[in-house]
Amino acid sequence: MRWRHVLITGASSGLGRALALECAAPGVTLHLSGRDRARLQAVTAAAEARGATVRPAVLDVRDQAAMAGWIASAGPLDLVIANAGISAGTGGAVEPMAVTRAVFETNVTGVLNTALPAIAAMAGQAPGADGVRGRVAVVASLAAFVAAPGAPAYCAAKAAVQRWAEALDATERRRGIRLHAICPGYVRTPMTARNAFPMPLLMSAEAAARRTLRGIAAGRLRIAYPWPLYWASLLAGAMPAGLRNAVFLRLPAKEAGPGED
DSSP 55-71: EEEE--TT-HHHHHHHH
Instruction: Tell me how many domains the chain contains.
Output: 1
- The boundaries of the domain holding residue 150 are 5-260
Look at residue 244 in the predicted model and tell me its pLDDT.
82
Integer Cα distance of 191 and 188 in angstroms = 8
Catalytic residue among 154, 186, 225, 230: 154
Peptide bond before 76: cis, by omega within 30 degrees of 0? no
Rounded to an integer, the average pLDDT of 81-95 is 85
Average pLDDT, the chain: 93
> Of 152 and 254, which is predicted with more confidence?
152
Q: With pLDDT > 90 as the criterion, what percentage of the chain qualifies?
A: 79
> Residues 46-63: pLDDT tens digits?
999 999 999 999 999 999
Read off the pLDDT of each residue in 17-40 and give the average, rounded to a whole number: 97
Mean pLDDT of 199-218: 95
pLDDT reported for residue 249: 80
The answer, yes or no, to whether residue 261 has pLDDT greater than 60, is no
Mark whether 154 is an active-site residue.
yes
Instruction: Tell me the pTM.
Output: 0.93
CATH number at residue 140: 3.40.50.720
pLDDT > 70 fraction of the chain, expressed in percent and rounded: 93
pLDDT at 130 over 60: yes
Vertex 76: Cα angle to 75 and 80 (nearest 5)? 105
Contact at 8 Å (CB) between 213 and 22? Answer: yes
> What is d(CA 134, CA 127) in angstroms, rounded to the nearest whole number?
8
In angstroms, the CA 134 to CA 6 distance is 10
